[in-house]
Amino acid sequence: MKKVLVFLSMLLVVVSMAAKVELVVWTHEDPNRTPLEEGYIKEFEKMYPNVEIKRVTYPSDKIKEVLLTAFAARKGPDIFNIEIQDEYPYIVNGRVAPVDLSVLGLKNYNDLKNLYLEGSLDAVTYEGKIYGLPLELTNWCIFINKKYFREVGLDPEKDYPKTWEDMVRVSEKLVIRDGQIIKRRGFDFRYPYYLTFFVPMVEQLGGALFSADGKTAIINDNAWLKVLDFMKQWGPNGKNLGSPTYTAARKEFNKDNNTVAMCLSGLYQIDRIKAENPAFYNSKEWMVVPFPVFQNAVKDVRCNFYGHYYMVNAESSKEKQEWAWRFINFMLSHPQEYLTKVGLIQPRKDLIESDVFKNYPYANVFLEDMKKAHIVPLHPQGPQIEQLIREAVESVMLTKTTSQDALKTLKKKANDLLKEEQ
């Protein structure tokens, strides 16, 4: 009898273990987000003891390739997020599953769209279906260290750069050099994210990355040339105000160590300053201002925003897909905590209309800029085109290549790439 009982109890354990659903989540490293999401996992597992969630993090520059190789080998995780421009090929190639509306308790996609700010699900809408839910929508504004402004006789509240021409003028005042070597940069760009910050600069002057039908790349040579000239002037062969070969400005900014006075970053930077340098955070010697526009801009467009959308592997079992959407929905139902603890903006109407959002430092600056911005260009060849823009910009900044030559090469290569795809 005893033996039978032992056997039965073992069988029960085995059966219950076998019934457990294991979900694997791959996401990028974010020290502020990890404890928050680990907490949600514990809560979710408590609510649904048959589900076990394994959250794995990778550095943000590594996750793209790890994920790609995993999907190529058909061993991708059940849930993942990367930047939308890199997620887009996963949607186009049918590697991710559409949002399971029944799990979310919704009747149709319009009900889902109504929960979010207008257009914020467009990036993940493909052939009438929605393939992801936004973890964050991020745009970049200018972070300013007020102390260094005052040091050179500028009033940060009044003299902050409103135009790119102002940016050059202010940076020339702020820069400290030892011969040709820059000891303190006034401002520097966020290399190599050219689709995010560089393309809107071109658009301000009337240019575009793609034609309306998407068949031609690099529209309006004049606009591109002007921005390439601007970057040439910015670089070591021009006014020597910054360069991609220096440490990223946003990393230096938090240190408040007299190496950079302004940088380009998202709302999340505030929480990073708080975590990395509480003294600087508490000093209130920093502020955020909008993304500048050119003096003679023909279009008031601000820094492109990009998104991280949680997606579900289309090759996971139906059961896993259902649980995956249930878990994603559970995590994302805490938008205020994501804002206050991590500095991430989830474009949900209930968040944007809440007092928490309205009272969050500089959230309004980011929101106002976002209203004048659009999402980074999404195209299956997007990453290659960004690399081509990088080559063009860096060749004019770092070598003796003229803007005309760089543009000619860029135009040819980008259009060849599009033709190859067609």
Partner 1 sequence: MEKKKAIWGFIFTIPAIVFFMIFDFYPVINAFWMSFFKKDLLSLKPPKFIGFKNYTYLFTSEAFWNSVKATAIFTLGTFIPMVLVSLVLAALIMTRKRFQKFLQMAYYSPAVLSSVVAAMIWLLMFDPRGLANQFLNFLFSTQGIDYHWLSNENMLRLATIIVYFWKYVGYFTVIFVSGMASIPRSIHEAAIVDGASGWQDFLHITLPLLKPTTLLVSVMSMIQCLKTFSTQYLFVQGGAPRGPIDVITLNIYNTAIRDHQIGRASAMSVILFFVIMFFTYLQFKVSRSEEVTY
Residues that bind partner 1 in the complex, under the rule CB under 8 A: 61, 64-65, 68-69, 71-72, 89-90, 93-95, 177-183, 191-192, 236, 243-247, 383-384, 387, 390-391, 394-395, 397-399
Q: Taking the complex as a whole, how short is the minimal distance between the CB of residue 146 and partner 1, in angstroms?
A: 24
Looking at beta carbons only, is 76 or 347 nearer to partner 1?
A: 76
Closest CA to 320 of 135, 136, 77: 77
Q: Taking the complex as a whole, how short is the minimal distance between the CB of residue 198 and partner 1, in angstroms?
A: 15
Looking at beta carbons only, is 271 or 394 nearer to partner 1?
A: 394
Q: Taking the complex as a whole, how short is the minimal distance between the CB of residue 89 and partner 1, in angstroms?
A: 5
User: Which H/E stretch holds residue 359?
Assistant: helix 355-359
Q: Taking the complex as a whole, how short is the minimal distance between the CB of residue 164 and partner 1, in angstroms?
A: 21
Q: Taking the complex as a whole, how short is the minimal distance between the CB of residue 391 and partner 1, in angstroms?
A: 7
Looking at beta carbons only, is 21 or 417 nearer to partner 1?
A: 417
E-assigned strand segments in 99-248: 125-126, 129-130, 133-138, 141-145, 176-178, 181-187, 208-210, 217-219
Looking at beta carbons only, is 46 or 400 nearer to partner 1?
A: 400
φ, ψ (nearest 5 deg) of residue 332 = -80, 0
Looking at beta carbons only, is 191 or 325 nearer to partner 1?
A: 191
Q: Taking the complex as a whole, how short is the minimal distance between the CB of residue 179 and partner 1, in angstroms?
A: 2
Looking at beta carbons only, is 61 or 355 nearer to partner 1?
A: 61
What is the Cα–Cα distance from 149 to 174, expressed in whole angstroms?
A: 7
3-state secondary structure at position 50: coil
Closest CA to 287 of 152, 161, 173: 161
- Which residue type sits at 96? V
3-state secondary structure at position 87: helix
Cα–Cα separations (whole angstroms), residue 254 to 51, 53, 262, 276: 39, 34, 10, 7
- Which residue type sits at 325? W
What is the Cα–Cα distance from 55 to 34, expressed in whole angstroms?
A: 9
Residue 293 tokens, joined: 């526009």
Looking at beta carbons only, is 276 or 391 nearer to partner 1?
A: 391
Q: Taking the complex as a whole, how short is the minimal distance between the CB of residue 339 and partner 1, in angstroms?
A: 31
Residues 6 or more apart whose CB falls under 8 angstroms from that of 52 comprise: 20, 21, 22, 23, 45
Looking at beta carbons only, is 97 or 288 nearer to partner 1?
A: 97
Q: Are the CB atoms for 156 and 150 separated by under 8 Å?
A: yes
What is the Cα–Cα distance from 82 to 86, expressed in whole angstroms?
A: 7
State the angle between helix axes of 403-421 and 221-234 in degrees (0 to 180), rounded to the nearest 10: 130
What is the Cα–Cα distance from 291 to 140, expressed in whole angstroms?
A: 7
φ, ψ (nearest 5 deg) of residue 178 = -115, 95
Looking at beta carbons only, is 100 or 252 nearer to partner 1?
A: 252
Q: Taking the complex as a whole, how short is the minimal distance between the CB of residue 175 and partner 1, in angstroms?
A: 13
Q: Taking the complex as a whole, how short is the minimal distance between the CB of residue 65 and partner 1, in angstroms?
A: 5
